[in-house]
Amino acid sequence: MRRKNASQTELITKVNVTPIIDVALVLVIILLVTAPMMSAVDLPVRLPEARTREAEDERNISVTLGTHGELAVDDRVVAASTLGAAVAERLAQPGNEGVLVVVRADTATPYSEVRRTLDAVRRAGAKRVAIATRQKGTTAP
């Protein structure tokens, strides 16, 4: 039998990929950290104003609830007892079967009143109901 000589070293024939992976991961981390910083240019730009699709829809039914319990359906002031009938009457008009009913309530209005109004609108037959809000930073009318 032949014995290998102890002084003879074996040749490395395989590539060690561990250092390559380490360098690649460091580059990925650097890219992830610096990419958000380079995404927006520091130029003063006035962005155009946009309206949502619902705001453009002229067939919305607006139910307004005031601070002291005043109610209005579109431009007509109604009593709390006739709110459901007024909304049902508007929904019964031609082309209004799937219209969005937007409930606008003052911020000082108690939630129980808002909830009562939402329930009355649902009972009147509204399938799509939304609560109107304003975005942060906009001024109140």
92 inside domain: yes
Name the stretches of the chain with pLDDT < 50. Answer: 40-43, 45, 50, 54-57
6 inside domain: no
Burial of 10 (0-12, 13-18, 19+ CB in 10 A): exposed
8 inside domain: no
26 inside domain: no
pLDDT of residue 30: 92
pLDDT of residue 25: 96
CATH number at residue 117: 3.30.420.270
41 inside domain: no
Count of domains for the chain: 1
pLDDT of residue 4: 58
36 inside domain: no
pLDDT of residue 39: 55
What pTM value is reported for the model? 0.55
